[in-house]
C-alpha cells in the first residue's frame, strides 16, 4: 500500500487545478454576487475530458477512475465549489447513461453529454421526498409508444438551463420497485421550471423546481428499456455522489488554508506578523491536519469504489460525513484568522463558508451518513 499519486494522476490533478486557478477562481466571487451560471466556462472542461470522466472509453467517456474523478472535483472546487459540484452532477448523469442505458441510448446521448453540448440535471428529490427517495410521487403512465410524466422535482441543480434531465418517476406501485428512470429534454412541451431559489450559497449555479405537467416522452427515453429499475439506478449512484461532494469540500478547504497562511504573513499585530503567535500557529496546524485526514478518507473511499470493495458504501458515507464537516470547519477557521476582514466579501472566505454549508446536507444529510455507518458497524458487517 502506498499513498503517492501516479504520474498520470498528478498530471490530471495539475490540469484541473490550473484550469481552476485560471478560469474559475478569478471570477468566482463575481459569479456568486451576480448569480451567474458560467455555462461557457463549464463547457471548456469537456475539452479537458471532464464531461464523462468515469464513463468507459468504449462508451464514449474518458475511461478514468473514481479516484481520478475525486482529484478533478477537488481541484476544480479550489476555484469554486458550486461550479465543481455542478460538473460532478453532470458526470453522475453521464455515468448512469453509460452504465444503465441501452446501446442505442448510449449511442444517441453520450457524445453530446461527453462534449457538454448538452448539460444535464439529476432529478430525484421531491418536495415531500428528500432522504426517503423510495417515496417519490412523480408518475409516468405508459400510453402506446410514449410515457406521460406528471410531478415536481425539488432542489434541482441546473434547472432551467440544463438541456438533459435524468428523471425518476413511478411506473408501478408504491415502494422502490415501482420506480423507473427517464430522460426528458428541456424543450419538451409541459416541462417548466420554478423560480430560481434564493440560497445561502451556491449562487453560481441555478437551483429550481422541475415541473412536469403531462410531459410526453417517447418510450425510447425509458433508461435501460425496462420499468422498475430506477431505484436501483439511484442507489448505485449514491456512493459516487457522496465521494464527489466530499471532494468538492476539499478544494475550498485547500484554498482557504492557502488564504489563511498568506494572510498570517501579511497581517501585523502588536508589531509582529500574526504568524508568530502560537495560538494561530496551532490553529493552522489543526486546519492542515484536518484537511489531510479528510483528503485521505475521500481517496480511500474512491479507491474502494473502484475496486468494488464490499465496504465501499460505508467508506463513502464515512468520507462524505468527515470531509464535508471538516471542510466547512476549515473555511470557517480561515475566516476567523482573517478577523473582521474575513467577514467582508472582498476576501472570498464568507462565500466559501456559505457554499460549503450545503455540502453537509447534499447527497444524504450527515445524519443519514451516521445511520448508514452505524448499521454497518452494529450489523457486524464492517470490514
- Between CA 97 and CA 118 the distance in angstroms is 13
pLDDT higher than 80, residue 381 = no
Determine if the pTM surpasses 0.85.
yes
Closest CA to 18 of 69, 63, 78, 89: 78
180-233: pLDDT as tens digits? 999 999 999 999 999 999 999 999 999 999 999 999 999 999 999 999 999 999
Question: What percentage of the chain exceeds 90 in pLDDT?
Answer: 95
Residues that are catalytic: 363
With cell 458560467, the residue in question is 38
Comparing 253 with 381, the larger pLDDT belongs to 253
Helix 81-100 vs helix 349-357: crossing angle, to nearest 10:
30
Which residue's C-alpha cell is 417548466? 192
CA–CA distance, 249 with 278 (Å, rounded to integer): 27
* Confidence band, pLDDT 50/70/90 cuts, at residue 1: low
**Radius of gyration (Cα) for the chain, nearest Å?**
21
CA 8 and chain centroid, separation: 23
Does residue 382 have a pLDDT over 80? Answer: no
Q: In the CATH hierarchy, which top-level class contains the domain 7-114?
A: mainly alpha
Q: How far apart are CA 87 and CA 81, in angstroms?
A: 10
How far is CA 372 from its chain centroid? 19
Q: Quick one: fold of 120-227?
A: Butyryl-CoA Dehydrogenase, subunit A; domain 2 (2.40.110)
Over 90: is that where the pLDDT of 333 sits? yes
Question: How many CB atoms within 10 Å of residue 25?
Answer: 17
> Count of CB atoms within 10 A of residue 340's CB?
6
The mean pLDDT of the chain is 96
The residue ranges of DSSP E strands in 171-279, in sequence order, are 179-185, 191-193, 207-218, 268-269, 272-273
Give pLDDT tens digits for 268-301.
999 999 999 999 999 999 999 999 999 999 999 9
Q: In the chain, where are the structural domains located? A: 7-114, 120-227, 237-378
pLDDT band at 2 (very low <50, low <70, confident <90, very high): confident
Q: Contact, 235 vs 162, CB < 8 A?
A: no
Distance CA 315, CA 313 (A): 6
Q: How far apart are CA 14 and CA 8, in angstroms?
A: 10
Q: Is the pLDDT of residue 133 over 90?
A: no
Fold for the domain defined by 237-378: Butyryl-CoA Dehydrogenase, subunit A; domain 3 (1.20.140)
Amino acid at each position: 500500500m502506498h499513498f503517492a499519486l501516479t504520474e498520470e494522476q498528478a498530471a490530471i490533478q495539475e490540469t484541473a487545478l490550473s484550469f481552476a486557478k485560471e478560469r474559475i477562481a478569478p471570477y468566482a466571487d463575481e459569479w456568486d454576487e451576480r448569480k451567474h451560471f458560467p455555462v461557457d466556462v463549464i463547457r471548456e472542461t469537456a475539452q479537458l475530458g471532464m464531461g464523462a470522466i468515469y464513463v468507459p472509453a468504449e462508451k464514449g467517456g474518458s475511461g478514468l477512475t473514481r479516484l481520478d474523478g475525486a482529484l478533478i472535483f477537488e481541484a476544480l472546487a479550489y476555484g469554486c465549489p458550486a461550479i465543481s459540484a455542478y460538473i460532478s452532477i453532470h458526470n453522475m448523469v453521464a455515468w448512469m447513461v453509460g452504465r444503465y442505458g441501452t446501446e442505442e441510448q448510449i449511442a444517441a446521448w453520450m457524445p453530446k453529454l461527453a462534449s457538454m453540448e448538452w448539460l444535464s440535471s439529476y432529478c430525484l428529490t421531491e418536495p415531500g421526498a428528500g432522504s426517503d427517495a423510495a417515496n417519490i410521487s412523480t408518475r409516468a403512465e405508459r400510453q402506446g409508444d410514449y410515457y406521460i410524466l406528471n410531478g415536481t422535482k425539488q432542489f434541482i441543480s441546473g434547472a432551467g438551463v440544463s438541456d438533459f434531465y435524468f428523471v425518476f418517476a413511478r411506473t408501478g406501485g408504491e415502494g422502490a420497485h415501482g420506480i423507473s428512470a427517464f430522460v426528458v429534454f428541456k424543450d419538451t412541451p409541459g416541462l417548466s421550471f420554478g423560480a430560481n431559489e434564493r440560497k445561502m450559497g451556491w449562487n453560481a449555479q441555478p437551483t429550481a423546481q422541475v415541473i412536469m405537467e403531462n410531459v410526453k416522452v417517447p418510450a425510447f427515453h425509458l433508461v435501460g428499456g425496462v420499468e422498475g429499475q430506477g431505484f436501483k439506478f439511484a442507489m448505485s449512484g449514491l456512493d459516487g455522489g457522496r465521494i464527489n461532494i466530499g471532494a468538492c469540500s476539499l478544494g475550498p478547504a485547500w484554498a482557504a488554508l492557502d488564504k489563511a497562511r498568506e494572510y498570517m504573513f501579511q497581517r501585523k499585530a502588536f508589531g509582529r506578523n500574526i504568524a508568530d503567535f502560537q495560538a494561530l500557529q496551532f490553529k493552522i496546524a489543526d486546519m492542515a491536519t484536518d484537511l489531510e485526514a479528510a483528503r485521505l478518507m475521500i481517496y480511500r473511499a474512491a479507491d474502494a469504489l473502484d475496486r468494488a470493495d464490499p465496504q465501499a458504501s460505508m467508506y463513502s458515507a464515512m468520507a462524505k460525513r468527515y470531509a464535508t464537516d471538516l471542510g466547512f470547519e476549515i473555511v470557517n477557521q480561515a475566516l476567523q484568522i482573517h478577523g473582521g476582514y474575513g467577514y467582508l466579501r472582498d476576501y472570498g472566505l464568507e462565500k466559501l463558508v456559505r457554499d460549503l454549508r450545503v455540502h453537509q446536507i447534499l447527497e444524504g444529510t450527515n445524519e443519514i451518513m451516521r445511520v448508514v455507518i452505524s448499521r454497518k458497524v452494529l450489523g457486524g458487517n464492517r470490514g
